[in-house]
Amino acid sequence: MNEEHERLRKELPEYSKYGAKLDRAIELVLRGGIKEIRFLPSGRTVLTAVGRLGDEFMDPKRPYCSCSNFFFGFLEGKEGVCYHLLGYEVASRVKRVDAVQFSDEEYIPYVRAVIGDVFDVLEGGGG
| 12 vs 58, beta carbon nearer Zn ion | 58
Does residue 67 belong to the site contacting Zn ion (CB under 5 A)?
Answer: yes
Q: Which is nearer to Zn ion, 106 or 126 (CB)?
A: 126
State how beta strands 64-65 and 45-50 pair. Answer: unpaired
Q: How far is the CB of 49 from Zn ion (least distance, A)?
A: 6
Give the shortest CB-98-to-Zn ion separation in angstroms.
Answer: 17
Counting contacts by CB under 5 A, is residue 121 touching Zn ion?
Answer: no
Q: Does 70 bind Zn ion (CB under 5 A)?
A: yes
Helix, strand, coil in percent for the chain, rounding step 5? 50, 20, 30
Report 21-60 residues binding Zn ion (CB under 5 A).
none
Q: For Zn ion, which is the closer residue by CB, 40 or 115? A: 115
Nearer to Zn ion, 8 or 58 (CB): 58
C-alpha 25/C-alpha 46 separation (Å) is 19
- In single-letter form, the type of residue at position 60 comes to P
Radius of gyration of the chain (CA): 15
Say how far apart CA 34 and CA 91 lie, in whole Å: 7
- DSSP state letter for 41: T
What residue ranges bind Zn ion (CB under 5 A)? 65, 67, 70, 82, 84
